[in-house]
């Protein structure tokens, strides 16, 4: 018998809007909204590959890493497990424009290989998970990085990564709630009431999950700063010994 | 391999051109979304299930296992439509006509999900990816997507092995240990994915790699008769659903 845990779990570990759940007009509108970001990301990827054919292999590996990251199981507040969005870590490592492209690929694969999310709802899911999540997460990361510039590198990086990952996760779920609220406004209180309803269901699981995802991401980046220092320097996540800032490498992933 | 992809590779419809399957299941999906939910969505779901479990021989158990999580999402989402918040009389009340709206959304989404899953269960992703280039996408991008597809199974297997080893060392006994183990797992997967990409590059360079990953793609011709046959079920569903006075 399905328990309340399983119901909450289905929302927490499959936050992708299911196939056919959105009215066609909304599905098209969100696809149009996500399209410029995805096209920009696809252009970044294409330019990176044309400039350096070896980048293709590393970008392929990055895409596969994003997919595997979203398949990892993290402990959920309901006692079962959930999956991280990976939007924050992806944005910190590869930058939001590239994440828009890699995230779209990941979501397409999830729809066709795992039945998580749909094809007609791909645009809506891309907008929340591959556009808003990475941009908000990356914004939070950069802001905290700037605010903690005087702290030691490891501490500053830890705070910034936590903020980036947790904010990316929370913003993803907030946008999904908004998408559902716009599609199905409440009979009495309209979009605002519907947003409160969907948000209330998500918040039971998603706020603790965002914190856990933030902590897991801090552990990942701390380990990477030891065992894969060269990669993080190349991706401009770590400041170079010469004191250079973590400036994005022109939106390039590798 | 993942269950859906494994079933797609062993499907008797593996050799059927993706355009034919796309016409069939895509057409039914469009019917489920656009036609009145009764009988349009119901007929679309029935047609997709009949074709999927019939000639396409989709394994029912694997189908049920793949469908239950999105179906729970649909049902939970539909339940929220039963209630209304912030009304003048009570903070929480039954929504007028809420059950009808919930049933409509759930029915439509369940039918659409059946169509999507039947397509996924009969069409391997490997057959779709090379055709993306014909849609006008840049070759470099399509090759990157194809590389992601090829690498993800190896990486998923790597992640599974690391997790088993961690669990064997009681790495998931407490919540704190879970977070630590998962962090280690994520970092290991990142390092191995980049290392694998580098090794692949070295291997390709030894074979004369110059930036183009050319692979042979099995391209069965699209027969107009097959396309027409695939379009018949959606057209029949549309005709039946739009025929007035035929349904209660």
Domain ranges of chain A: 4-234
Burial class (CB within 10 angstroms; exposed 0-12, middle 13-18, buried 19+) of B163: middle
Q: At residue B229, what are phi and psi to the nearest 5 degrees?
A: -65, -40
- pLDDT the model gives residue B245: 67
Residue A4 predicted with pLDDT over 70: no
Which residues on A lie below 8 Å from B138 (Cβ)? 42, 46
Dihedral sign, Cα of residue B110, residue B113, residue B117, residue B119: positive
| Size of chain A, expressed as the number of residues it contains | 254
CA dihedral A236, A239, A244, A250 (to 10 degrees): 10
pLDDT of residue A202: 76
| Residue A22 banded pLDDT, cuts 50, 70, 90 | very high
What pLDDT is recorded for position B248?
A: 62
Query: Count of CB atoms within 10 A of residue B227's CB?
Result: 15
Residue range B111-162, pLDDT digits in tens: 999 999 999 999 999 888 888 877 778 888 888 898 899 899 999 999 999 9
Give per-residue pLDDT as tens, B168-219.
999 999 889 999 999 999 999 999 998 988 898 889 889 887 777 777 777 7
CA A61/CA B243 separation, integer angstroms: 52
Give how far B222 is from chain A: nearest CA, Å.
22
Residue A79 has pLDDT above 60, yes or no: no
Parallel/antiparallel/unpaired status of strands A81-82 and A74-75 = antiparallel
Query: Is B97 within 8 Å of A24 when comparing Cβ atoms?
Result: no
Which phi and psi (to 5°) does residue B93 adopt? -145, 165
Write the DSSP assignment of B84-98 as a string of letters. Answer: EES-SS-SEEEPTTH
Nearest-CB residue to B179 (from A69, A215, A222):
A215
- Number of Cβ atoms within 10 Å of the Cβ of B169: 10
pLDDT at A254 over 70: no
In this structure, CATH architecture of domain A4-234: Orthogonal Bundle (1.10)
Q: Given an 8 Å threshold on Cβ–Cβ distance, is A57 in contact with B101?
A: no
Contacts of A211 (CB under 8 A, 6+ apart): A166
**Record: contact A13-B179, CB cut-off 8 A:** no
Look at A188 and B69 and tell me if their CB atoms are within 8 Å: no
Q: Is the pLDDT of residue B25 over 50?
A: yes
Measured between CB atoms, does B162 come within 8 Å of chain A? no
Angstrom distance (rounded) from CA B103 to CA B107: 6
* Rounded Cα gap, residues B160 and B1, in angstroms: 12
Angle made by CA atoms A163, A6, B100, in degrees to the nearest 5: 105
- In which band, very low, low, confident or very high, does the pLDDT at A83 lie, cut at 50, 70 and 90? confident
Phi/psi zone of residue A219: left (φ > 0), alpha (ψ -120 to 50 degrees), beta? alpha
pLDDT at position A2 over 50: no
Name the minimum distance, in Å, from the CA of B226 to any CA of chain A: 23
Q: Is B83 on the interface with A (CB under 8 A)?
A: yes
The three-class DSSP label of residue B201 is: helix
B147 CB neighbours in chain A (<8 A) are 56-57, 59-61, 63-64
């Amino acid at each position: 018998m399905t328990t309340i845990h399983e119901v909450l779990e289905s929302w927490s570990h499959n936050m992708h809007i299911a196939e056919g759940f959105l009215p066609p007009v909304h599905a098209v509108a969100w696809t149009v909204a996500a399209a410029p970001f995805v096209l920009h990301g696809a252009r970044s990827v294409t330019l990176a590959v044309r400039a350096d054919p070896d980048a293709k292999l590393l970008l392929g590996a990055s895409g596969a890493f994003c997919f595997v990251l979203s398949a990892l199981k993290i402990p959920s507040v309901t006692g079962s497990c959930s999956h991280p969005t990976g939007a924050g870590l992806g944005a910190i490592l590869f930058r939001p424009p590239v994440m828009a492209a890699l995230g779209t690929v990941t979501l397409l694969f999830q729809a066709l290989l795992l039945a998580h999310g749909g094809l007609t709802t791909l645009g809506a899911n891309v907008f929340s998970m591959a556009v808003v999540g990475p941009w908000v997460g990356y914004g939070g990361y950069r802001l905290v990085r700037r605010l903690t510039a005087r702290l030691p590198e490891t501490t500053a990086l830890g705070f910034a990564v936590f903020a980036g990952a947790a904010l990316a996760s929370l913003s993803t779920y907030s946008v999904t709630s908004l998408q559902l609220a716009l599609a199905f406004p409440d009979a009495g209180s309209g979009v605002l009431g519907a947003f409160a309803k969907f948000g209330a269901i998500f918040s039971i699981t998603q706020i603790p999950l965002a914190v856990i995802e933030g902590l897991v991401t801090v552990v990942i980046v701390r380990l990477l700063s030891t065992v894969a220092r060269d990669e993080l320097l190349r991706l401009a996540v770590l400041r170079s010994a010469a004191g250079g800032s973590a400036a994005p490498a022109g939106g390039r992933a590798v | 391999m993942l269950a859906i992809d494994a079933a797609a590779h062993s499907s008797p419809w593996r050799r059927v051109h993706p355009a034919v399957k796309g016409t069939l299941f895509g057409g039914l999906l469009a019917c489920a979304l656009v036609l009145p939910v009764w009988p349009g969505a119901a007929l679309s779901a029935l047609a997709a299930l009949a074709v999927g479990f019939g000639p396409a021989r989709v394994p029912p158990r694997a189908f049920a296992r793949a469908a239950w999580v999105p179906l729970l999402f649909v049902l939970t989402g539909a339940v929220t439509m039963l209630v209304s918040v912030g009304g003048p009389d009570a903070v929480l009340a039954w929504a007028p006509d809420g059950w009808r709206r919930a049933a409509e959304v759930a029915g439509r989404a369940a039918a659409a999900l059946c169509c999507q899953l039947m397509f996924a269960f009969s069409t391997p992703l490997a057959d779709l990816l090379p055709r993306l280039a014909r849609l006008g996408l840049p070759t470099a991008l399509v090759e990157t997507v194809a590389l992601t597809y090829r690498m993800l199974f190896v990486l998923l297997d790597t992640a599974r092995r690391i997790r088993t080893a961690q669990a064997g060392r009681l790495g998931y006994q407490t919540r704190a240990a879970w977070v630590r183990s998962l962090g280690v797992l994520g970092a290991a997967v990142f390092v191995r994915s980049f290392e694998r990409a580098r090794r692949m590059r070295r291997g390709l360079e030894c074979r004369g790699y110059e930036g183009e990953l050319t692979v042979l793609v099995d391209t069965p011709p699209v027969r107009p008769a097959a396309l027409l046959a695939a379009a018949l079920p959606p057209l029949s569903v549309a005709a039946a659903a739009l025929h007035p006075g035929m349904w209660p």
